[in-house]
Chains A and B, each alone.
Chain A
Amino acid sequence: MADVTSSGTAVLTLPTDEQILITREFDAPRHLVYKAWTTPELVSRWWPGQRGRMTLAEIDLRVGGQWRYVMIADGGFEVGFHGEYLEIVPNERIVFTEAFEGAPGVEPALNTATFTEVQGRTVLELLTEVSSKEIRDMIVGTGMEGGVQEGWDILEEIAVGLR
């Protein structure tokens, strides 16, 4: 039961032991999706989701250039990520490292964002590669292979049933 999702919904899969792949379709041509991913003022608007407010978005978009995002979460604490751009193909692909500043000892993840346009719409694939299966499972948790939702039913039950 891997396909409960439709376009517009993020699909999370685990291609190999050390990879997490998030796929999402957007109703916009890819140069705009790329722009929204690489322009600090635009990133600031979507990256915090509903969890807080962006306080810093630095993007030095060139190979070897650094990026750093910091937000103040609604709980009042800072959440920061940073990394380096390793490969840039404008409107097509960005390869970059990503380190979570809250876990300084953990090796940075290697991310590849791929933008593919199909009839005016864009499929974004965000591939995260980590150094071990344990870290991957730590990020996505257990039983996710069958799709984000079903995999979580069990643990959801467990969490809800806490007493």
Chain B
Amino acid sequence: MARAATTADAFNAVAEPRRRQILDVLAGGERPVNDLVLELGLAQPQVSKHLRVLREVGAVDVRDVGRQRLYRLNGHALKPIHDWVKTYERTWSERFERLDVVLDELKQKELGDGGRDE
């Protein structure tokens, strides 16, 4: 993968809902443009424009088979995003779990106040 296609580009590429939709469809397997046009209910030029953006960041690959252009996902380009979000989500879950423990202690300390020395 070319290093020039920065992760920021990939982030921007998937920030657009229609492009996410394309990625969702392609997650099911390689598809010709016509399929995507049908699935998304968009005009072909629009779909092509989105595909171009996705190609530029390496999120999709294309190959010609006969007269058809087939598009497929390139998961490597999306992995940084996946990792980022997973980290964000997990970070907060972990923080909250720890916070639960801290709160338990604070509660007990409050209940035990008066009888407990510290």
Binding site for B on A (CB under 8 A): 9-10, 12, 22, 24, 26-29, 32-33, 35-36, 42, 45-51, 133-134, 137-144, 148, 152, 154-159, 161-162
Contact = CB atoms under 8 A, between A and B. Distances in A.
B118 interface: no
Interface residues of B, number: 40
Contact of B103 (A28, A51, A134, A148): A28
B87 to A, nearest CB: 9
B95 interface: yes
B49 interface: no
The prevalent SS among residues of B at the interface is helix
B91 A51 contact: yes
A32 B73 CA distance: 48
Contact of B94 (A27, A42, A49): A49
Contacts of B90: 49
Nearest to B76: A162
Given A28-B103, A32-B110, 20 more contacts: A10-B89, A10-B92, A12-B89, A22-B92, A24-B96, A28-B104, A32-B106, A36-B103, A36-B106, A49-B98, A50-B98, A51-B91, A137-B14, A138-B11, A141-B14, A142-B81, A148-B89, A152-B89, A154-B27, A159-B83
